[in-house]
Amino acid sequence: MSASIDQLTDWVRRFAAAVHEHRDELTRLDSAIGDADHGSNLDRGMTAVVAALDAEPQPSAAALFKKVGMTLVSTVGGASGPLYGTFFLRVATASGEVTELDGPAFAKALRAGLEGVVARGKAEAGDKTMFDALAPAVDALDAALADGDPLGESLRAAATAAASGRDATIPLVARKGRASYLGERSAGHQDPGATSVTLLVVAAAEALA
């Protein structure tokens, strides 16, 4: 089964709705170990993304994700703007000028996005960042597709892996970003970036089911 451009657009819209719904939770998590703006910054960015897509539907996967990435880079600020922006820009390049993506092509695009996040943020496993939820999700997606599972089912496995990765950030000591200034005091708090990127993977599982 392939994901159509309408389904890919629906993924972005569902993510925007989830960020809006969880805005206060994301900010609350960020105020414990960061600077209390993750929910409001990402919500501002995704609201701008939805407005841009309403104004001008995008004809291809590359155009869609490039629009999302550039809008986030231009509106979010902080660290999450460049990180989410780079993610979507790399997804755009890997997707190409097509109107649908099959399972392996979607997985390849997500992998490229993950690599963009790593290149931009220099995070490694266990640093208590969005990487800790996104990387296991991309790995789980690859594994499920390799087992011959359809894309929708594979994305549900990815969402489960993202949520586990998110929960596993709680005991970690932050080694990147503003939370790292806290040292040991950052342990015991769930990472806001890992939380928001789990919303992104869950939205994909819903939209591309």
Partner 1 sequence: MKKLINDPADVVAEALRGMDAAHPELRVDHSDRVVYRADAPVRGKVGLVSGGGSGHEPMHGGFVGPGMLDAACAGEVFTSPVPDQMVAATRGVDGGAGVLHVVKNYTGDVMNFEMAAELAGAETGVEVASVVTDDDVAVQDSLYTAGRRGVGVTVLLEKIAGAAADEGRDLAAVAAVARKVNDRGRSMGMALTSCTVPAAGQPTFELPEDQMEIGIGIHGEPGRRRVPIAPAREVAAMLVEPVLADLDFTGPDGVICFVNGMGGTPLLELYLMYNEVAALLDKAGVRIARSLVGPYITSLEMAGCSVTLVKADDELIRLWDAPVNTPGLRWGA
Residue 193 in the binding site for partner 1 (CB under 8 A): no
Among the listed ranges 7-15, 52-60, 69-77, 134-142, the one in contact with partner 1 (CB under 8 A) is 69-77
Residues 6+ apart with CB under 8 A from 46: 15, 16, 19, 20, 72
Residues 6+ apart with CB under 8 A from 41: 76, 77, 78, 80, 81
CB of 80 vs partner 1, minimal distance in Å: 8
Residue 192 in the binding site for partner 1 (CB under 8 A): no
CB of 79 vs partner 1, minimal distance in Å: 4
Residue 52 in the binding site for partner 1 (CB under 8 A): no
**CA angle at residue 121 from 24 to 169, to 5 degrees?**
50
Among the listed ranges 56-64, 98-106, 141-149, 171-179, the one in contact with partner 1 (CB under 8 A) is 171-179
Nearest residue to 180 via CA among 63, 54, 35, 73 = 35
Coil, strand, or helix at residue 70? Answer: helix
| Sole residue written with tokens 């342990």 | 187
DSSP category for residue 170: T
From the list 3, 61, 83, 140, which residue makes contact with partner 1 (rule: CB under 8 A)? Answer: 83
- Whether residue 106 contacts residue 137, with contact meaning beta carbons closer than 8 Å, is answered with no
Residue 28 in the binding site for partner 1 (CB under 8 A): no
CB of 49 vs partner 1, minimal distance in Å: 14
Residue 75 in the binding site for partner 1 (CB under 8 A): yes
From the list 37, 132, 142, 191, which residue makes contact with partner 1 (rule: CB under 8 A)? Answer: 37
From the list 76, 92, 114, 204, which residue makes contact with partner 1 (rule: CB under 8 A)? Answer: 76
Left, alpha or beta for 137 (phi > 0: left; psi -120 to 50: alpha)? alpha
Question: In which element (H, E) is residue 3 found?
Answer: strand 2-4
From the list 121, 136, 165, 192, which residue makes contact with partner 1 (rule: CB under 8 A)? Answer: 121
Residue 173 in the binding site for partner 1 (CB under 8 A): yes
Among the listed ranges 56-64, 83-91, 132-140, 141-149, the one in contact with partner 1 (CB under 8 A) is 83-91
Left, alpha or beta for 61 (phi > 0: left; psi -120 to 50: alpha)? alpha
**Residues near partner 1, by CB under 8 A:** 35-37, 40-41, 73-79, 81-83, 85-86, 120-121, 173, 175-178, 180-183, 185
